């Protein structure tokens, strides 16, 4: 919460993937996919930080780098004040128990040849928790109950469950190590609409009951507006806007966020008719060759002179809530909204690059 040091902090984070060139006769030439390309971000203990952006902008890569499933190419990830790059292999392994990921596609992330009991028990075995057959079995049953599954079904296989139940298995597995920080990577996107709300409610309840901290990755801005305390908007490997969820979604300051918000269907037919949708032209540029200056300039309806030349940095926007910058975590403004720090990286808010 505001006033405490963040649980997770990324500084100058880059994750680049070397790729072999697709061009004929140039097979030895490699290009670099800049999936995450200079991200500064923190997640406060107990909060939900929503992360939104189009497909391929780097959300999953960022989430996996924060839990150190992927090694950063540059920059640092601190967990509870400790730079994870300074840890020995065994210290990093025990730190991993405090972090978990819930993946989008429960079917793909569960081993079809293992019973769900064995799958849920895997982190217990890895981290040496609840040793002994009976204690481990009891713990697996407990975890199944916590996520709304029948413990008597522990001997069943993933294909014997529905999509929603399989996601509950994935959630139970994520909880097994008793994590503090959970990356929920589009946890309801592959589920039937009828069960999405149930799984969402389960995630909200678990956060409350276990004091979890979430990075909630989603394409769905409306869902993020509901569950997140703050929202970060990502475009081509960068955070382009961040702030309290109501500020960012109801009063977007970056043209990209404006376009995302304008695509969200309105709750009533009257508002839906009045909705002014901003349709972005052009394709998303390749993360191997982002445009010069502002990366959004090739699609931005508001592009102007400085945009191709200067790379905008995140800076405070708006009125009162601009007072609390990203580093206002320890600040004592007494204004909750200010402490959330609404920031955007756009020259419309002053040219700095």
Ligand X SMILES: Nc1ncnc2c1ncn2[C@@H]1O[C@H](COP(=O)(O)OP(=O)(O)OP(=O)(O)O)[C@@H](O)[C@H]1O
CB of 3 to ligand X, least distance (A): 31
**Cβ–Cβ under 8 Å, residues 348 and 240:** no
Nearest residue (CB) to ligand X, 53 versus 187 = 53
Nearer to ligand X, 65 or 172 (CB): 65
Q: From Mg ion, ligand SF4, ligand X, none, which one binds at residue 221 (CB under 5 to 8 Å depending on kind)?
A: none
- How many residues comprise the chain? 353
- Residue 41 binds ligand X, judged by CB under 6 A: no
Site for ligand X in 111-170 (CB under 6 A): none
Among the listed residues 256, 266, 250, the one whose alpha carbon sits nearest the alpha carbon of residue 236: 256
Total binding residues for ligand SF4 by CB under 6 A?
A: 14
Which ranges of the chain would DSSP assign to H, the alpha helix? 59-66, 89-96, 106-109, 116-126, 133-146, 163-176, 193-210, 221-227, 245-250, 255-262, 269-274, 336-340
Tokens of 272: 């839906």
Does residue 35 interact with ligand X by CB under 6 A? yes
Please select the residue that binds ligand SF4; options are 175, 294, 314, 317, rule is CB under 6 A.
294
Residue of 253, 297, 341, 343 that binds ligand SF4 (CB under 6 A) = 297
C-beta of residue 216 within 8 angstroms of C-beta of residue 247 = no
- Give, in order, the Cα–Cα distances in Å from 10 to each of 62, 111, 227, 271, 282: 9, 31, 22, 39, 31
- Count CB atoms within 10 A of the CB of residue 148: 16
Bridge partners, residue 28, by sequence: none
Instruction: Tell me the closest approach of the beta carbon of residue 228 to ligand X, in angstroms.
Output: 17
Q: Are 116 and 110 in contact (CB under 8 A)?
A: yes
Least separation in angstroms between CB 344 and ligand SF4: 8
Q: In which residue are the tokens 């999936």 written?
A: 35
| Subset of residues 306 to 325 that bind ligand SF4, contact rule: CB under 6 A | 307, 312
Which range touches ligand SF4 (CB under 6 A), out of 117-125, 274-282, 289-297, 322-330? 289-297
Residues of this chain that bind ligand X (CB under 6 A): 17, 19, 33, 35, 53, 55-61, 287
Query: Which residue ranges make up the site for ligand SF4 (CB under 6 A)?
Result: 254-255, 294, 296-297, 300, 302-304, 307, 312, 346-348
Contacts with Mg ion by CB under 5 A lie at: 60
């Amino acid at each position: 919460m505001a006033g405490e040091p963040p649980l997770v902090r990324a500084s100058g984070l880059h994750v680049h993937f070397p790729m072999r060139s697709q061009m004929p006769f140039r097979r030895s030439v490699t290009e670099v996919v800049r999936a995450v390309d200079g991200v500064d971000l923190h997640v406060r203990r107990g909060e939900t930080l929503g992360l939104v952006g189009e497909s391929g902008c780097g959300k999953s890569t960022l989430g996996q780098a924060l839990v150190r499933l992927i090694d950063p190419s540059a920059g640092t990830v601190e967990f509870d004040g400790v730079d994870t790059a300074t840890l020995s292999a065994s210290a990093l392994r025990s730190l991993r128990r405090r972090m978990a990921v819930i993946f989008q596609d429960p079917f793909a992330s569960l081993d079809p040849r293992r019973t769900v009991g064995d799958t849920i028990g895997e982190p217990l075995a890895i981290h040496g928790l609840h040793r002994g057959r009976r204690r481990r079995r009891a713990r697996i049953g407990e975890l199944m109950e916590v996520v709304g599954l029948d413990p008597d079904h522990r001997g069943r296989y993933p294909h014997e469950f529905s999509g929603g139940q399989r996601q509950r298995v994935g959630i139970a597995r994520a909880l097994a190590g008793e994590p503090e920080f959970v990356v929920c990577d589009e946890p309801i996107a592959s589920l039937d609409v009828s069960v999405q709300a149930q799984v969402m409610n389960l995630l909200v309840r678990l956060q409350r009951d276990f004091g979890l901290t979430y990075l909630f990755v989603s394409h769905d801005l409306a869902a993020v507006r509901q569950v997140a305390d703050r929202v970060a908007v990502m475009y081509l490997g960068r955070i382009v806007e961040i702030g309290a969820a109501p500020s960012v979604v109801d009063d977007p300051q970056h043209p990209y966020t404006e376009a995302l918000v304008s695509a969200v269907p309105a709750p009533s037919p009257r508002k839906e008719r009045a909705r002014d949708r901003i349709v972005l032209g052009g394709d998303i540029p390749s993360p191997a060759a982002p445009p010069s200056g502002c990366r959004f300039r090739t699609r931005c309806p508001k592009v102007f002179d400085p945009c191709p030349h200067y790379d905008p940095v995140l800076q405070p926007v708006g009125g009162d809530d601009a007072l609390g910058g990203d580093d206002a975590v320890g600040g004592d403004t007494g204004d909750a909204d200010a402490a959330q720090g609404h920031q955007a990286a756009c020259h419309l808010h002053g040219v700095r690059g």
